[in-house]
Amino acid sequence: MEFGVQSVMKRRTMLVAAAAILLIPASQAVAQKKTPYWASISAGQARMRTGPGRQFPASWLYQRAGLPVKVIETYPNWRKIEDPDGEKGWMQANLLSDDRSGLVVSGPVRALREAPNGTSRIVWRVEPGVVGKLSECRRGWCKMDIKGKLGYLEASALWGVDPDEREP
């Protein structure tokens, strides 16, 4: 009979532990990430503030979901970010996503290629300022999805990717 009681107690303990893990807010889990790391703005409108709280004045209003940002510091429910123009400020964590994106940097129109090399067929051309979803980066090339148009772009033409990065 003792074995049955121990088994029930063990199950209860495991259930309580599992429930506690599930109740940890996602923002706390993200806070565990080592900075700096890349993220993207998930909201259609997101304010950058001068400090980590709503009591701080807004310095920018972003109206571009998917824009890549670099998270450089964390504070409970807030992230200090750097945008593609080098502006730094604080944004609520729930306005950011771990979904990776890249912004085509200024310069000439770029070739989005069929394969990750400079001699493969050009499938699309992309202008500076275009934002796309990143799915993998290897050997200096990133696979991008720009509103359903897939192709590879040199990582050096993107903001939102580290030069030596290998994104799965």
Share of the chain above pLDDT 90, in %: 74
Q: Which CATH number does 26-99 carry?
A: 2.30.30.40
Tell me if 26-99 shares its fold with 102-159.
yes
Q: How far is CA 76 from the centre of its chain?
A: 18
A 10 A CB-CB count for 88 gives 15
Q: Which fold has domain 102-159?
A: SH3 type barrels. (2.30.30)
pLDDT tens digits, one per residue of 80-97: 999 999 999 999 999 999
What pLDDT is attached to residue 26?
47
Residue 9 falls in which region: left (phi positive, over 0), alpha (psi -120 to 50) or beta:
alpha
Tell me the whole-structure pTM to 2 decimals: 0.78
What pLDDT is attached to residue 3?
52
Sketch the domain layout of the chain as residue ranges: 26-99, 102-159
In this prediction, the residues of the chain whose per-residue pLDDT falls under 50 are 1, 5, 7-10, 12-24, 26-31
Closest CA to 95 of 26, 46, 61, 37: 46
